[in-house]
A and B are shown apart, each in its own frame.
Chain A
Amino acid sequence: MRPPDRKGSFSAGTIGLVVTLAVSLLLIAGALLVPLSVRNGAPFGNQQTVDFERGIAVLGAEITPNYDGMDRLGLDLRAYSDAVPGDQYDFIVSIRDIDADRIVRSVAISVDVAQIPASKPPFHDVLTDVRFDPIPDSAGVAYYVDVERGPRNADDVVALWGVQAYSSLTAADVMEDAIASYDLGYPSRTTALLLVVLTLLSITGAGAVIGTTTAALVDARWRDVDRAG
């Protein structure tokens, strides 16, 4: 004989349906409202900092953001010195619009040498965050990121291994841009329709997975309680 499906006034199916709707709505709200720090997509995540014409490493890199509102850089800085943890390194990071030949942001940072070790430990995040006011209309603009040592570290050896650039965007912003940019080989309206429908189905599907599995687990839990009682 099957045990009763209800516990109080709710059935497991009702709980599953409510959870499905709640999770789907939360995912949609999150996609529309919650900004994520989106990486401006360079291969390996990094712009390399080598001047190939001169064959030397330099304390700078050219970046071209994908998106407007670039507001963060991740610098892979390495210090080659006898400094000990606690010693501070000072830097001035400037971002120059190459075509306009104009510095658009300049940020002073001070970093503990433990954050920028010469030898990168495998399980350590060595990126140094540099945050600044968002640069409007940054998409497609070529910038040169220049890192200058402060006066007390002027003679220290520091290398810049890579630069990552970020913009704060919602998932909806990113998908909207993808829908406009992707060339799937179909007419653009078909591509847009395809990506929108699949995205919406994925979101509601995710909600339904959480909803139905919650219902199944709650149902099983109630049966255990019934069996024990």
Chain B
Amino acid sequence: MSMAPGSLSPTSQLDPGAPAISRSADRGPSITDARSAGLLAQFALAADRGWLTVLLSFFAVKQILLVFLLGPFSGHDEVDHYWYIQRLAQGHGLGEVGVVELPPEASGYARYVADYPLNSEVIQPPLYHGMLALVSHLLPSDTQHELYLLRLLSVLGGIVVVWLAYALARTIFPADPVVRIGVPVFVALQPQLAFEAAIVNHDIVIIGLATAGCLVAVRCVRDGLTWQRALTMGMIGTAGLWTKMTFGLVLPVFALAIAITVWPELWSVLQRRGRGIAALVRRAAPATMLALVLPLVLVSPWFIRNYRLYGDPTGATRLQEVSDYALSAMTLPEMLGSPGFWRGRLDDFWGNYGWREIPWDTSLALPVYLVWAVAGLGIVALVVREVAFLSSARVQPVFDAFQRRALALVATLGAMMIVAILYVGLLQFTQSRFAFPAMAGFGMFTVLGFAAWVPARWRWVVLIGLATALIVLNAVVLVRFVIPYYVGPGGGEFVVPPR
């Protein structure tokens, strides 16, 4: 960190040089605190430019390698997404689920299609596919080469996601280099996020939009709610909903950010038994309209289209009718009470490549889960300490008020994404990638969880150890499982498109 010593107070006690934070901080960041955090974040960016450039460059290179190492169309739903893009590029319109079939040239990849010969992905709102359809006109007509070039756009999306993860960490913990470095490193080296950022799929766009939305929400809490920030949240929400309907679960994060920013006035109104409510509504209503209502209004044509075609706004009913997806559905108690369900979600989160045909060996997976659990226990310890601080004057907090509120937003995004996993599980087979829009948050809580167990002066050593371990993990997984799947007579298939 390159800030001049003594010029600004760091805001985090994870930083060993930070001063103790008074209990009055709990009432909210003062203007000075917020400005300090903003200025610190600017200083941090200047200090971090070197390693961040190296990290983003490394991410780009290893992702391009992954683009070529993953067999064509073996990403999840990649066949459907690719030919949805082609369909739009050729001017054949949006199509209807249960009616639109894949073209004959997709037959070689039938094993990688959930419901062959139907293209189930035409259920998705068309923003991602429409944009790539425009790009598709500029690309070579050879299917394999075009696929690789479209995958490279996902790599670009991944670079943006890593940068946004850094920006989020820098905004919340500007004075703590361990968190600023640890969060983007975790996101860049998370094996399944790397998989998402190397295949043709709209998930990487959703991950980027959700991370950007969370960042704007955190800045609202830090710097205040403005028209521009509310409009930015609204535009992000609109783009997200036009890319994937589950983005609706990000909107509660925006709502919480607005609620936090108007909380002093709201508390005052409640104490005065409703007096002043009109002023509060005048202040909060425009932002609420822009951030929450505007996206729903702008995406309403898609809802209406779905309702007219399928009888419900999302089209989920039709999807269940035309496929056997519903056979894999579970009830909420079944999911919550099943160790096998959670083992499956851990497997999804860390390592299920290539149409779920390339799992890790359990002997590798279990140690990774155990190490990650240490971070989970660290988070529990931090929460207990923060709760103790709020109820006792004798306990020193770890975070200041702004950080607590920002972490509440990040945690809310994570919780909503876990809701997404469970919601999809009620309808069909579910997967952990539905929670990946909160990947920066998972990275942040992982770093904070590990940091909770280690004395401040040794945290940097632990972080370097974890980063090295993640790099080795990625390499070992590629060499032991992924590449062998695509190579040789005993493997899966590296099916080359016909020319």
Interface residue ranges, A against B (CB under 8 Å): 1-3, 23, 27, 30-31, 36-45, 63-67, 74, 121-127, 139-140, 164-165, 171, 174-175, 177-178, 181-185, 194-195, 198-199, 201-202, 205-206, 208-210, 212-221, 223-224, 226-228
List chain B residues, Cβ under 8 A from A218: 460
Instruction: Provide 29 A-B residue pairs closer than 8 Å at the C-beta atoms, listed in order of the A residue.
Output: A36-B479, A38-B480, A39-B361, A39-B481, A39-B484, A40-B491, A42-B492, A63-B490, A64-B490, A67-B488, A122-B339, A123-B343, A177-B487, A178-B69, A182-B69, A184-B148, A195-B69, A209-B185, A210-B468, A215-B50, A216-B47, A217-B181, A220-B1, A220-B177, A220-B460, A223-B2, A224-B15, A227-B5, A228-B16
Q: Which of B58-66, B263-271, B415-423 contacts A (4 or more CB under 8 A)?
A: B58-66
B484 lies within 8 A of A209 (CB): no
CB-nearest residue of chain A relative to B111? A43
B278 at the interface (CB under 8 A from A): no
B490 lies within 8 A of A44 (CB): no
List chain B residues, Cβ under 8 A from A126: 362
B390 at the interface (CB under 8 A from A): no
Known: A41-B488, A42-B491. A210 touches B471 (CB 8 A): yes
List chain B residues, Cβ under 8 A from A213: 51, 55, 181, 185, 463-464, 467
B185 lies within 8 A of A185 (CB): no
Chain A proximity mask over B51-86: 1 for CB below 8 Å, otherwise 0: 100110110011011001100000000000000000
Q: In the complex, A199→B483 CA distance in Å?
A: 13
Q: In the complex, A183→B468 CA distance in Å?
A: 31
Interface residue ranges, B against A (CB under 8 Å): 1-2, 4-6, 15-17, 47-48, 50-51, 54-55, 57-58, 61-62, 64-65, 68-69, 142, 144-145, 148, 177-178, 181, 185, 339-340, 342-343, 356-359, 361-363, 366, 369, 457, 460, 463-464, 467-468, 471-472, 475-476, 479-481, 483-492, 494, 496, 499
Q: In the complex, A223→B144 CA distance in Å?
A: 52
Say how far A181's CB is from chain B's closest CB, in angstroms.
5
A185 lies within 8 A of B145 (CB): yes
The 7 closest A-B pairs by CB, nearest first: A66-B488, A205-B58, A41-B491, A41-B484, A217-B460, A122-B343, A212-B51
Q: In the complex, A220→B12 CA distance in Å?
A: 14
Q: In the complex, A219→B50 CA distance in Å?
A: 13
B2 lies within 8 A of A2 (CB): yes
Which of B340, B361, B486 is within 8 Å of A74, CB to CB?
B361
B479 lies within 8 A of A127 (CB): no
A206 lies within 8 A of B5 (CB): no
CB-nearest residue of chain A relative to B147? A185
A182 lies within 8 A of B494 (CB): yes
CB-nearest residue of chain A relative to B362? A125
Given pairs A36-B476, A140-B490, 10 additional interface contacts (CB within 8 A): A40-B484, A66-B488, A122-B339, A139-B489, A140-B488, A174-B483, A178-B69, A185-B145, A194-B68, A210-B471
